[in-house]
Amino acid sequence: MYFPTFRPRRLRRNANLRRMIRETILSVDHLIYPLFAAPGKSVRNPVGSMPGVFQMSVDCLLEEVESVNDLRIPAILLFGLPREKDDQGSEAYASDGVVQIAVRTIKDKFPDLIVVTDVCLCEYTSHGHCGVVHGQEVDNDATLDLLARVALSHARAGADVVAPSDMMDGRVRSIRQALDQCGFEQVSILSYAAKYCSAFYGPFREAAESAPRFGDRRAYQMDTANAREALREVSLDIEEGADIVMVKPALAYLDIIRRVKDTFNRPVAAYNVSGEYSMIKAAAERGWLDERQVMMETLTAIRRAGADLILSYFAKDAARLLQE
């Protein structure tokens, strides 16, 4: 046999050829942009560890959302910074809480934009844990009612999708029941189904002021070393009524994204988290990496691993690049 019958380089010879055989498409349709709603007026506080990310009061958020909408990004994810924290995280479900006001204002002006709300307590509790604390423990079942109240308050404000990120057992079911009982059967649940206990959330905790005051989240978020357990988590959330399942973080867990995609017939989301963003920003600031290229390579890799949707602080930058 004469050498070589197949030369893979033949199909890499020019940009059009490469475009024709490209297997993975990254489009603005797949992106969700996270935003941090703060109380007050004209507030636009930069988050030190996340260049380009701000805590914003509703008036500034509206301007931001306008640019997101102009870039044709289909959805945003909202986090809230409450005026005050307490041990139950009561502002998380207040009808005039910072997220509820933001949702109402945004949906009023941009009715077609998909508004996803993060459902959790850690930004709202004085101790910084994602549930009700008894002694040193987060009480799973006592937290479920509160999470359902949070989700319901977001639905009442007009959220299209609620996204529980707390990792309590059974929370998707209690949220689904509460929504259905109150006539919100059209509100979807995007569950943070396989959410790992990750140090890559570090910069987010500065942005959301949500670091736990004692201990850590290992008793409720997943152990980094586990993959089969992620499949169990995802199957539970699907049984309980999740419409979209998320793997988080993304980059160190691409294998999990792929397994979830191959195992279940639900849309899969991946969260390109704060630490993944900050690492690229920091290296680029030093001139050590080409920010735009590394960003696009990263987002494409997350898509290639199987993510239908990507939550990313790069969403606007990527959308701009994709438009060019």
Any residues with CB less than 8 A from the CB of 42 and at least 6 apart, and which? 57, 59, 60
Indicate the residue among 60 and 311 with the shorter CB distance to ligand PBG.
311
Indicate the residue among 18 and 314 with the shorter CB distance to ligand PBG.
314
- Residue least distant from ligand PBG (Cβ): 204
Annotate each residue in 222-251 with x if it binds ligand PBG (CB under 6 A) or - if it does not, as one string: ------------------------------
Any residues with CB less than 8 A from the CB of 99 and at least 6 apart, and which? 37, 78, 79, 80, 92, 117, 154, 157
* 46: preceding bond cis by omega (within 30 degrees): no
Q: Which of 251, 276, 246, 273 shows the shortest CA–CA distance to 261?
A: 246
Any residues with CB less than 8 A from the CB of 30 and at least 6 apart, and which? 303, 307, 308, 309, 310
Distance CA 262, CA 45 (A): 41
Written as one letter, the residue type at 77 is L
Q: Least distance in Å: CB of 195 to ligand PBG?
A: 7
Q: Which of 204, 220, 253, 314 binds ligand PBG (CB under 6 A)?
A: 204
Indicate the residue among 3 and 81 with the shorter CB distance to ligand PBG.
81
Q: Retrieve residue 315's tokens.
A: 């969403």
Q: Which of 125, 153, 165, 298 binds ligand PBG (CB under 6 A)?
A: 165
Cα-atom radius of gyration of the chain, to the nearest Å? 20
Catalytic residue (one of 195, 261, 281, 316): 195
- Which among 16-24, 104-112, 116-124, 178-186 is the span making contact with ligand PBG, rule CB under 6 A? 116-124
248 catalytic per annotation? yes
Q: Retrieve residue 102's tokens.
A: 């933001």
Catalytic residue (one of 41, 85, 109, 248): 248
Number of chain residues interacting with ligand PBG (CB under 6 A): 10
Q: Which of 32, 106, 122, 155 binds ligand PBG (CB under 6 A)?
A: 122
For residues 190 and 163, the answer to whether their CB atoms sit within 8 Å is yes
Beta strands (DSSP E) in the chain are 31-38, 44-46, 54-57, 75-80, 114-119, 132-134, 137-139, 161-164, 188-195, 244-248, 268-272, 309-312
Indicate the residue among 184 and 204 with the shorter CB distance to ligand PBG.
204
Q: Which of 133, 151, 257, 273 binds ligand PBG (CB under 6 A)?
A: 273
Residue 274 lies near ligand PBG (rule: CB under 6 A): yes
Q: Which of 33, 124, 196, 201 binds ligand PBG (CB under 6 A)?
A: 201
Q: Which residues bind ligand PBG (CB under 6 A)?
A: 118, 120, 122, 130, 165, 201, 204-205, 273-274
Active site residues: 195, 248
